[in-house]
Each structure stands twice: as structure tokens, then as C-alpha cells.
Amino acid sequence: MMITSDSYVFVAAILFIIGGIGFLARRNVLVQLMSIEIMLNAVNLTLVAFNRSRPENHSGQIFAFFLIAAEAAEVAVGLAIVLSLFRLRRSVRSDEADSLRN
């Protein structure tokens, strides 16, 4: 049985939907950050899957590598914001994040 690019795209779509629902349904900022990571990993899976159709060109894998580096920077900034929110409010609920505007 051969695994095609359609299978990878289907799994990536399911991961992206799970991440989107997790981001919209939960109020905990840490869970929202993890949901964003799931969505970005679905994009990485799609890039690598489409790169399989053209193995002589590694642009999909290179772009996925740079996206992973951007994800690491996003996590660092996101966790810094979560820590400052927790110091101010003693909670990590996104409903209480309006206090960071000052």
C-alpha cells in the first residue's frame, strides 16, 4: 500500500482543524499556544508532503525548517507574555489579558 500526498494533506487538515478548535474553544493561554503549534506543524507536514512530489527540489523542506525556527521564536515571546500575565493577575486566562495594555 502506497502512501500518497493526499494522505499527508488529509492528516495535516485534521491537525489544523484540531488546532483551530483548540485555539478558539479554550481560554487558557498555554493551551492556545499549543494549539497554534499544532496548526504550524500541520503546515510543516503539508510543505514536506508537497516536497515529496518533487524530490529534486528541496524548497518545501527548507521552508519547513525556517518555519520551525520561527515557531521557536514565537514560543519564546509567547511564554514571556504568559509569565508577565501570570505575575500581574495570578492567572493565565486570556480573558484577563487586557491588563497588559498599560
- Say if 31 falls within a structural domain: yes
Assess if residue 98 is contained within a domain: no
Cα 13 from Cα 92, distance rounded (Å): 29
The whole domain housing 53 covers 5-90
Instruction: Answer yes or no: is 24 within a domain.
Output: yes
The CATH number linked to 53 is 1.10.287.3510
Number of domains in the chain: 1
Q: Is 102 within the bounds of a domain?
A: no
- Encode 40-75: b = buried (16+ Cβ within 10 Å), e = exposed: bbbbbbbbbbebeeeeeeeebeeebeeeeeebeeee
Q: What is the pLDDT of residues 4-48, one digit of tens each?
A: 888 999 999 999 999 999 999 988 888 888 999 999 999 999 999
pTM of full prediction above 0.85 = no
